[in-house]
Structure 1
Amino acid sequence: MCRVLKEKLSKVDLSFLNHKKKMAFWINTYNACVMNGFLEHGLPSSKEKLLTILKMATIDLGGTQLSALDIEGSILHSPCEPLEALSTDVHKRYGFRCDEPNLMFVLCRGDWSSPALRVYTAEDVVNELIKARMEYLEASIGITGRKKIVIPRFLHKRLRDFADDEGTLVEWICRQLPPGERCLQLKETAMEWLKKQSESSLNKLIEVRPHEYEFRYLLHL
């Protein structure tokens, strides 16, 4: 982050922000904090290096030092990976009244499996979250020649945020995909395969794509 922005953050008072303003502020601050961490500490070469950088990437917010992991786990409360014990003090001071599962589609860690990087606005953050979710699913869900539906690992780990099991997760994904020839074909194929599967064989229908930690920033235009 530039020096001027850092100075402003060190004096910021969030007590006057409503829920939507607070959500947009923390999403943008987190993404900027992560990017600044790469500029200061270099690009990660592994998952372990990435987590180290996320701990080292810090901001001074009103006199409180917060790392990117603090923001992700204790404030946005949407960890992409299992984290250490969350700070209840930080959550109590800055956190939201309730969890927002769609945040997982907007937190950009700068790796190949992360969603696109964009700026969120307080006025339209709810619709922007929905749009980000739809675009991420459109880009990351696929089908294979072996009649399997490909789902990213971090979405599969969080399926209970959106569905009861793998079958209802596939149904939920199909409802979220936008109109369009590719998505229509994907939805029709997925639902056809799903109808043919018994509950005990759902694991044969889904292929979980491993998280890719190679560095990449995908910018939303």
Structure 2
Amino acid sequence: MGEFSSRALGRVTVYSIQGCPHCVQAKATLGRLEVPVCDVDLGRHPELRAAVKELTGRSSVPQIFFNNVHVGGNDDLQKLAPEELQRLVSLVKEEPLPADAPPVPEKSQSEEAAGETDGAAELSLLLREMILKLFSEHLSADGKSVDYKGMSSNPAFERYSELAIQLQRVELLSLSREEKLAFFINTYNALVIHGFLRLGPPTNMWSRYRFFNYVSYLIGGEVFTLQDIENGVLRGNKKGLAQFRRPFSNTDPRLQVALPNAEPLIHFALNCGAKGCPPIKTYSPQDIDSQLRIAAEAFLENDDGCTVDSVKKEVRLSQIFKWYKADFGGTDENLLKWVLEHMGDSPKKTSLQGVMSAGKTKVTFLPYDWSSNGTH
């Protein structure tokens, strides 16, 4: 493989992020093609995100280029006809990299940016980065499953667990809205994986309910479960699924930490399970709102998030929009307006505009895949 790579004149460029199963799968496929592959981690190089969006019109990862030919994501790569794939491989081997080739990093700016965050944001970022690195080391070669058992016996997991203890020293009341968003999103996502490692992924509705109401961290001297973080802090102390009351009572000291209103964009940042992983998996306070918009855009770009049937005048949305309808305006009409406003320019957006302007749009919800990604 080495001699093929060294003789090739061009390159394949893959924009990916750590811990994204679709990126792992794409890179495994590309690795068998005997061409040089340049992997650009957008988590490490956020300065390239805008350029990639400009080039591809997409917010999801991976994005794959053969020289300057954009193939698309992992699904697009896997669906290529053998002769088309062969043509692209020949292009990379025989044609030098053109002047308009997709950009690669000169020097990471993310390390410098990390220094600007305060202690709490820095700690949550570090925890999330550590657990994602662990996660990606234990992803199967096809990117479809995670070896949680192997992950929990990795010495790096012990270091992670020791670091998580420092969360109890965080001063939550001094955090700004942006710092709170970044801190609690990162902490929630890390805690989900930590919970999987300690208890195993939940297998049915009851064990899921227990998992989200039981798995917790001690943060700033108070206990926060996953349910408390999502519904108490990030949704402005609203009742969650199957909850009879708000997470925090009026006398609960954690109520002071809760955001004043529900932030609908958090639903596309919490956890990792959407088909096309959004290109930001760790959030920083600096431009948190635009990072969250990118995550929502990437989610809606994929058919697991939203599909539009112009003939039937039907829009099918992820169950997330059904469960948290109140956060998106409470009615089907407001829901569709919200979706339209948060979509990137694409044929899907044009179809949605057409369906909505024709009036009487039918809204239905897609089935939700709860199956665990653990290896048995």
TM-score by length of 2: 0.49
Q: Deviations over 1:101-132 (max 9, x none)?
A: 21122111x55689757110011111111111
Contact 2:248/2:254 (<8 A) preserved? yes
Contact 1:73/1:83 (<8 A) preserved? no
Separation (CA, whole Å) in 2 of partners of 1:76 and 1:16: 16
1:76 aligns with 2:234: yes
Q: Identity over aligned residues, as a percent?
A: 21
Q: Which has the larger radius of gyration?
A: 2
Separation (CA, whole Å) in 1 of partners of 2:241 and 2:373: 18
Specify which structure has the bigger relative contact order, considering alpha-carbon pairs within 8 angstroms and separated by 6 or more residues.
Answer: 1
Q: 2:366 aligns with which of 198, 209, 221?
A: 209
The answer for the alignment partner of 2:145 in structure 1 is none
The answer for the alignment partner of 1:7 in structure 2 is 165
Deviating 4+ runs (over 4 angstroms): 110-117
Q: Deviations over 1:165-207 (max 9, x none)?
A: 324433432332112xxx32x2233333334444xxx4xx222
Contact 1:105/1:133 (<8 A) preserved? yes
Q: Structure 1 residues 82 and 131, CA, compared in 2 at 3 Å: closer, same or farther?
A: farther
Shift of 1:56: 2.5
In structure 2, what residue type is equivalent to 1:212?
Answer: D
1:189 aligns with 2:189: no
1:24 aligns with 2:178: no
Gaps of at least 5 residues in structure 2 are 1-156
1:175 aligns with 2:341: yes
Q: Structure 1 residues 9 and 135, CA, compared in 2 at 3 Å: closer, same or farther?
A: same
1:154 aligns with 2:320: yes
Shift of 1:143: 2.9
SS at match of 2:172: coil
Q: 2:201 aligns with which of 34, 43, 58?
A: 43
Contact 2:217/2:223 (<8 A) preserved? yes
Q: Structure 1 residues 62 and 170, CA, compared in 2 at 3 Å: closer, same or farther?
A: closer
TM-score by length of 1: 0.79
1:58 aligns with 2:216: yes
Aligned CA RMSD, in angstroms, stands at: 2.8
SS at match of 2:286: coil
Separation (CA, whole Å) in 1 of partners of 2:239 and 2:281: 19
Gaps of at least 5 residues in structure 1 are none
Separation (CA, whole Å) in 2 of partners of 1:111 and 1:134: 15
Q: Structure 1 residues 163 and 22, CA, compared in 2 at 3 Å: closer, same or farther?
A: closer
Shift of 1:39: 0.7
